[in-house]
Amino acid sequence: MIVETAIRPLLTSMTLTLLVGGSDLLAQDVTDPANLTPAPAEYSPYLNHNYPNRVLWGDTHLHTSFSTDAGLFGNRLLPDDAYRFAKGEIVTASTGVRARLQRPLDWLVVADHAENLGLAVMISESNPSLLATDWGRTIHDIVKGGDYGAAYVMWGQGILSGQDPLAGNDAVTRSMWDRITAAAEQHNAPGTFTAFIGYEWSSAPGGNNLHRIVVFRDGKDLADRVLPFSAFDSDDPEDLWQWMSSYEERTGGSVLALAHNGNLSPTG
């Protein structure tokens, strides 16, 4: 206790010296903090302060019911709901619970899986183009019968084999992509909220996830000139990059791919 009593005044004086500093300390009573007056701040102004320094918060990877791995397991929310939620609006979740962000986001990429984009939505709506195919009618009936797990396994077999069960039915994909780009266009508010058009390329060779998020800098007018390049087209990222380069050459637009979900990948 004797040591503690002796050290405390010393520590207090040292602390006050750091707070007040220099010659100002000599003119003030350091034993009573009430007598201290902080020295005026002195600093240099920024030089060439002409670069962005505002942090904007967002999410590069959000799935809606347009992603089969979400839509087949209870996600009923659409891209429109996702953007409204990101902007701070109250949205009723698929479970029936009302939810709202405490702080709205500044931007969002709705990045649904490109492979059979919108399949769960087509099943829910009993899309005639889907029902016109044997595979589409079969998986539709399985889901309507309540066996979601079996439907997912059926869809997953196509993913693992690299064979698109709806190959040649571009009109179906086009209708779903158009709804996604329309939602982004509707909610994009320059200077307030950025709704990025995007999707997820879900390459999984040998079961290893080499997924990438593809983000368009452009609006609906350019993004609608293509259909999403999916893992059914190729599971090789260099083919994806070639497709991106072709898009930019054809449209004058700009597109970016972000590495994502490399947890099982030897290369990330």
- What is the reported pTM? 0.78
Would you call 4 exposed, middle or buried from its count of C-beta atoms within 10 A (0-12, 13-18, 19+)?
exposed
Average pLDDT score over residue span 9-34: 43
Q: Model confidence over 60-101: pLDDT tens digits? A: 999 999 999 999 999 999 999 999 999 999 999 999 999 999
What is the rounded distance in angstroms from the CA atom of residue 258 to the CA atom of residue 74? 27
* Residue 215: strand pairing partners: 198, 256
Give the pLDDT band (50/70/90) at residue 264: low
Q: Which residue has the higher pLDDT, 189 or 30?
A: 189
Mean pLDDT (the chain, rounded)? 85
Quick one: average pLDDT of 97-120?
97
Angular region, 59: left φ>0, alpha ψ -120 to 50, beta rest: beta
